[in-house]
Structure 1
């Protein structure tokens, strides 16, 4: 496979879009501490995938529609007295995936190959997949342009947001739907198992490099795009799984940033402690 191949061209466009999308939305995932929810969504949408396969519909459309139901259930359950968001997410993860398994096992002769959904293949994306990803990216940009500040305020200070009269429940739902549609867009490239890598890794890496929100979004998007494009290149050169390549590169970049942050922190503490540790005469 060469760089002149149209398959590679589509893969590069898809990789750039999902990399940027995962990086930007991932900042909200990190700020709200929702990596577990993002992972749960990739598994809880499985019943929608199975139903779509049985009906001959687009798999990702089925997963996306069922994902909205999962988001509604999580939000509703988490607001029940005595329950919390993590518990609701755990139930959605296990219950959703179990329902999908039951649906598959109850259909004699079920032969639809769901491998593409579970592990993804960015080199196999179609023009339709590109259109879906572009549509999701446009929708995310529009939502963030309209209520991005409100979403950030509700993420950092939900009590303050409520005091200002903001509809925090609606904002929470909007944010979770943004994450859900991003998961649906990323799945064709990385699969359900690895999609969380692009939703967590770039933003977590950016958080190690800076605490400023104005910096987090572009840095996370840039890391996501670079890792996704590099993963496609590695896949095309050595004939290995593109989704796994992207996820591994995201992990590698995070590891390097973590080590760099640790070294900088230790050096900073050493500089701060240095003058205080010297004798009074030496400092004079």
Structure 2
């Protein structure tokens, strides 16, 4: 009997893969302040999944196709001078969810596959789910690794990146598509709504422990893996929903870091408030707004990737 024949072992491997991929992409979501976009993408995939269940197509393909259309919509609308990314994202969120509801009503309500996609079912993960997650995860991590400097540069100084001759719009669209792909493979495991916590939570926690992007990226991935594995173990031991327990573990890790980390509340009350912007070393591009409230605002990012030689 193969090690993967056990449902618990398959779920454990799926959880570890999702934790690593979500943690890695989550840091870029945090850097570019794309939290609202990621939330909207969970709604934008809804009509694609609903249509796939009605026609018998693969749920991943349906959700992914709907997400691609959503990404193109956001990039296209946000290129207009009188519109911004927030406006385009809000339209996509509302329209996507409304279309999903309309398709759902036409198909006489939820079926088993659609309900599993919406609420998550990590303990029933199949070999197909594992293969899809592994394939998508490998592509996402390879692209993030190959274009790490370009993505970070665009987060801090898009105008400077454009002046340097980089394809800014193409890089932005590529990053949005990576976020879409991660959400599509995460949703069947923890549900479309809780997928947000797995993307944002580990990255936000890592931000409190370190101010270096190069260190925050692997730390966010490690925290994602730890949260998924611990949450899965809790769900099996106490017969609870895996998506819910994973999210609670992520929340516990974040709250702990918020209090005891080097950039948490306790450290803040011991020293004067730092700068209100994220600044870079001398010779690097411009600064961007900092993450967090005035009480918990971390130190400025130290971005070695953009320091000139």
Highest RCO, 1 vs 2 (Cα 8 Å, sep ≥ 6): 1
After TM superposition, the structure 1 stretch with the greater mean CA deviation from structure 2, 61-70 or 112-121, is: 112-121
SS of 1:81's equivalent in the other structure is coil
Q: How many Å separate the matches in 1 of 2:42 and 2:85?
A: 17
Q: Are residues 1:264 and 2:267 paired? A: yes
Q: Are residues 1:112 and 2:111 paired? A: yes
CA drift of 1:5 comes to 7.3
Q: Runs of 4 or more off by more than 4 Å in structure 1? A: none
Q: How many Å separate the matches in 2 of 1:144 and 1:237?
A: 35
Q: How many Å separate the matches in 1 of 2:128 and 2:162?
A: 41
CA drift of 1:266 comes to 1.4
Structure 1 unmatched ranges of 5 or more: 271-284
Post-superposition CA distance 1:56-100 (Å, at most 9, x none): 112122101110011001110111121000111011011001001
Which structure dedicates a bigger proportion of its chain to helix?
1
CA drift of 1:269 comes to 4.1
What TM-score, normalized by structure 1, do the two folds share? Answer: 0.91
Tell me if structure 1 keeps the 8 A contact 2:21–2:141. no
Could you say which residue in structure 2 is the equivalent of 1:196? 196
After TM superposition, the structure 1 stretch with the greater mean CA deviation from structure 2, 260-269 or 214-223, is: 260-269
Tell me if structure 1 keeps the 8 A contact 2:52–2:59. yes
Q: Are residues 1:17 and 2:17 paired? A: yes
Change (3 A) 1:268 1:121: same
Q: How many Å separate the matches in 1 of 2:133 and 2:168?
A: 28
CA drift of 1:144 comes to 1.9
Could you say which residue in structure 2 is the equivalent of 1:277? none
Could you say which residue in structure 1 is the equivalent of 2:79? 79
Q: How many Å separate the matches in 2 of 1:181 and 1:194?
A: 15
Q: Where in structure 2 are the equivalents of 1:39-118 lying within 5 Å? A: 39-107=39-107, 109-110=108-109, 112-113=111-112, 114-118=114-118
Q: How many Å separate the matches in 1 of 2:110 and 2:231?
A: 30
Q: How many Å separate the matches in 2 of 1:69 and 1:111?
A: 23
CA drift of 1:180 comes to 0.5
CA drift of 1:142 comes to 2.0
Q: How many Å separate the matches in 1 of 2:141 and 2:253?
A: 26
Structure 2 unmatched ranges of 5 or more: 274-309
Q: How many Å separate the matches in 2 of 1:182 and 1:76?
A: 21
Q: How many Å separate the matches in 2 of 1:112 and 1:265?
A: 50
After TM superposition, the structure 1 stretch with the greater mean CA deviation from structure 2, 145-154 or 225-234, is: 145-154
Post-superposition CA distance 1:220-244 (Å, at most 9, x none): 0010000000011001000000001
Q: How many Å separate the matches in 1 of 2:139 and 2:116?
A: 25
Q: Where in structure 2 are the equivalents of 1:1-284 lying within 5 Å? A: 6-107=6-107, 109-110=108-109, 112-113=111-112, 114-260=114-260, 261-269=264-272
After TM superposition, the structure 1 stretch with the greater mean CA deviation from structure 2, 141-150 or 27-36, is: 141-150
CA drift of 1:265 comes to 1.7
Q: How many Å separate the matches in 2 of 1:12 and 1:76?
A: 39
Change (3 A) 1:72 1:4: closer
Measured on the aligned residues, the alpha-carbon RMSD in Å equals 1.6
